[in-house]
Chain A
């Protein structure tokens, strides 16, 4: 079946460190891929997305590239801030799926000053 696998957390970094959160997927077709973020006490927010192979999504300094050959969509940021501390979810959806998202387990990021 279709699924998303994320690296386990928590990920603990110092401010200004480089961030990578790995995400791989298993899908029978060609899904759209998303990263959502959940800040403490808030609802999930879309961080970035990519709808086809080799697309790069970017927002707020975060980037992720849709790699069909490795079925991956790793999230990266060059210099994290304390305010980036949150839980990050990788997700996929299919055209015709009517806004149904399949989420990974989530990766908690803690950034210390």
Chain B
């Protein structure tokens, strides 16, 4: 079965712009989590959604937001981009609220100039 799909895979933005990233989870998975991966900070949890509800949020500014749709697809948005937002953004899905195993997509690599 198809894995976690993230779009776009690569994008370049300039400071001050906003960006929307999309994630399609594995069919049947209802939990979607987002992580930011950078060389300096490593992998950091952004937020998690289950059945369209955000249940957990990491320590990121309000510029980072997300949502989940009724078909479990999720989007995350970063507004007023800063240079430090350049990162690989990873989406992960899981079948349940405490499944313990996450299935990751290949990520969306954002470069902010």
Contact = CB atoms under 8 A, between A and B. Distances in A.
B112 to A, nearest CB: 22
Contact of B42 (A45, A49, A105): A105
A103 interface: yes
A31 to B, nearest CB: 11
Contacts of A100: 33, 45, 48, 56, 58
Contacts of A99: 31, 33, 48, 56, 92, 94, 97-100, 102
Contacts of B3: 43
A101 B45 contact: yes
A79 B55 CA distance: 41
Grouping DSSP codes into helix (H, G, I), strand (E, B) and loop, the B interface class, with mixed when no group exceeds half, is strand
B58 A43 contact: no
Interface stretch (A12-20, A21-29, A65-73, A89-97): A89-97
Contact of A89 (B43, B99, B105): B43
Contact of B45 (A49, A102, A105): A102
Contacts of B35: 101
> How many B residues touch the partner, as a band?
20 to 34
A106 B42 contact: yes
Contacts, number: 66
A89 B94 CA distance: 18
Given A98-B56, A98-B97, A100-B58, A43 B104 contact: yes
Contacts of B103: 43, 46
A88 B42 CA distance: 12
A82 interface: no
A41 B100 contact: no
4 closest cross-chain pairs (CB), A and B: A43-B104, A103-B43, A44-B104, A98-B55
30 contacts: A32-B100, A41-B106, A43-B3, A43-B4, A43-B106, A44-B90, A46-B101, A46-B102, A51-B100, A89-B43, A97-B98, A98-B31, A98-B50, A98-B56, A98-B97, A99-B31, A99-B48, A99-B56, A99-B99, A99-B102, A100-B33, A100-B48, A100-B56, A100-B58, A101-B33, A101-B43, A103-B42, A103-B43, A105-B42, A106-B42
